[in-house]
Structure formats: C-alpha cells, structure tokens
Amino acid sequence: METFEIKVAGKPIRARSGETVIHALWNAGMPELIKTGCVGGVCGACTVTVRSPNGKINGTDLACMCPVEEGMEVFPCSVDAVPTIASEPNPSADKLRVAYPTLDRCTKCGSCTASCPMSIPVMDSVLRMRSDQLNEVADDFTTCINCGLCRFVCEDGVLPHVMGMWVRRSIGSSRESAKNNTLEVASEQIELEWKYLLDGDSTLRMKHAQQFRENGEIES
C-alpha cells in the first residue's frame, strides 16, 4: 500500500493512501491531536484547516471526511460552541435581528460559504435572512451539522450556523400539527386488539401479530 508523509499540527506522520486524516492519526498513535466524535461527518467535532503543497486544497474540512494527500498539512481548529438563543413563534427577519444583532454585520466576503463542509450556500442564506426569506433559510440549513466553521472564519462575527438553527427551530415550533389521518377507534375495540396481541403463549401471540399486520384488524 502506498504511504506518504503528511503533517498534522506540525507533526510529520506516515499516512496510507485512501484513508482519512483521522484514520492516519489513529495509525500513527496520535489520536488526541484532533477532537473526534462520530467519525461519520455529522457531529462536527473534528474541524480542521487544510493546506496542500500544490495549492489545490486550501481551506477547512472535517478530518473524518478528509482523505489524505501527499504533503498535505492539517491544522486542528476546534470551534467552541456559541450559546444558543430560544426560538420565537412566527419568526421574521426583525425578530432574528433582535435575537442575533450580528445579522447585519455581514460584508459579503463569502468565507462562510467556502468554509462549509456540507456545501451549504451560507452567505446567500445570511442575505436571505436579512430579506425575510426564512423558509428558504430553513431549507438551506437542513444539512447543517453545527460545526461552527462558518462562524470561525467570519471576520465580522456573524453567527450563521446558530442563526440558521434558530430559524429552523422557530419555524418548526410554529408549524401547525400535521393532520394525518388516524383511525378513530372506540376504546373497547382498542382494548380488544391489545388483548388479541398480548394474550396467550408465544406461538399464539406471534400468529396473531402476523395476522394483524395484514390489514390492521382482527381476523373475523
């Protein structure tokens, strides 16, 4: 297997082609260099910056999702959590401004979008927050893992990730409960069905459960 050198936090380690930075660290006996959580790209613990010698990759990433490349340099950059703010019913741009006055600081440099490991159009979404297109914002942030890299790179102290979550929670909690159809069943019938499923020995219970699956009713 092809191996080559990469540097993590300035320390040279051997890495095997095809593995991620996290796996290379485990193999090199330096697992603690980068904070690690899910190892599946969704918890946002292992945020790093990456520099590659040929200038191809230069930016931020999740170490658990980042394949090693010869000569690359990786720098841990843990992002501290930002205190969260309670959601508001029927959110609007103005309510968001009250919760997060940083909204209007954005100077449209686009660093946040470039930094996002989930390819969320962060800056565009911040502009949508300003212009009250909050449903679109909620949609943009569907895949946000709250790693905080967008905040980390922001020169202006905007907090896009927590604002995105605030918008989602606010919209989510203001939605009407869904009116899905469930059968209106008399309580005696419900008790009868539970009795049918729960009484008897294990063979009978299994038989009844299998039957009940067919149409959700007791066989007449």
Partner 1 sequence: MDWAKDSLERLESTREERLSSKPPKLSTGEAEKLLYEYHPDYSGMQRSIRVGPNASNEKFPHELADILEADSQLPLDFEPSTDVETDVLILGGGGAGAATAIALEGAGFNVHLATKLRLGDSNTVMAEGGIQASLGKGDSARRHFADAYVGGHGENGSSLLRVLCENSADTIHWLGKLGCMLDRNEDGTFRLRSGGGTSIPRVLACKDYTGLEIMRVLKDAVLLSSTQTLEEHAAIELLDDGEGQVTGAVLWDRNKGGLITVSARAVILATGGSGQLRFQGFPTSNHLGAMGDGLVLAYRQGCKLVNADSHQYHPSGTAYPESMAGQLVTESIRSAGAQVVNAQGERFTGEMVLRDTLAAAIIREVSENRGVKTHSGRVGVWLDTPLIDLKNGNGTIRRQFPGIVHRFERYKIDLAKQPILIYPTLHYQNGGIQIDEDGRTEVKGLWASGEVTGGIHGTNRLMGNSLLDITVFGQRAAKSVQNNLPSRRPVTLTRLREFREKLKGLHGRKAILSPQLFPALTGMKISFEKKTEPLENNFSSTSSFSLDPPDPFSQ
User: In the window 179-198, what residues touch partner 1 (CB under 8 A)?
Assistant: 179-183, 185, 190, 193-194, 197-198
CA geometry: angle 81, 83, 85, nearest 5 deg: 135
92 contacts partner 1 (rule: CB under 8 A): no
Q: Which stretch binds partner 1 (CB under 8 A): 7-15, 92-100, 125-133, 208-216?
A: 208-216
Taking the C-alpha atoms of residue 179 and residue 183, their distance in angstroms, rounded to an integer, is 12
| Residue whose CB is less far from partner 1, 4 or 194 | 194
Query: What's the burial of 42, exposed, middle or buried (CB within 10 Å: 0-12/13-18/19+)?
Result: middle
How many C-beta atoms lie closer than 10 Å to residue 51's C-beta?
15
Rounded CA-CA distance 182/166 in Å is: 31
Please report whether residue 126 would count as binding partner 1 according to CB under 8 A.
no
Using CB under 8 A as the binding rule, whether residue 5 contacts partner 1 is answered as no
* Binding flag, residue 84, partner 1 (CB under 8 A): yes
Chain positions 18 to 47 lying near partner 1, rule: CB under 8 A, are 18-20, 23, 26, 29-32, 35-43, 45
Closest to 162 measured CA to CA, from 56, 81, 61: 81
CB of 64 to partner 1, least distance (A): 9
Q: What CA–CA distance (Å, rounded) separates 132 from 113?
A: 19
Distance CA 103, CA 69 (A): 37
| 156 contacts partner 1 (rule: CB under 8 A) | yes
Shortest approach of partner 1 to residue 115 CB, angstroms? Answer: 16
Does residue 65 interact with partner 1 by CB under 8 A? yes
Please state the closest distance from residue 143 (CB atom) to partner 1, in A: 6
d(CA 77, CA 82): 15
Candidate residues 2, 176, 188, 219; the one interacting with partner 1 per rule CB under 8 A: 176
Q: How far is the CB of 219 from partner 1 (least distance, A)?
A: 12
CB of 183 to partner 1, least distance (A): 6
Q: How many residues bind partner 1 (CB under 8 A)?
A: 71
Which residues share a beta bridge with 75?
A: 49
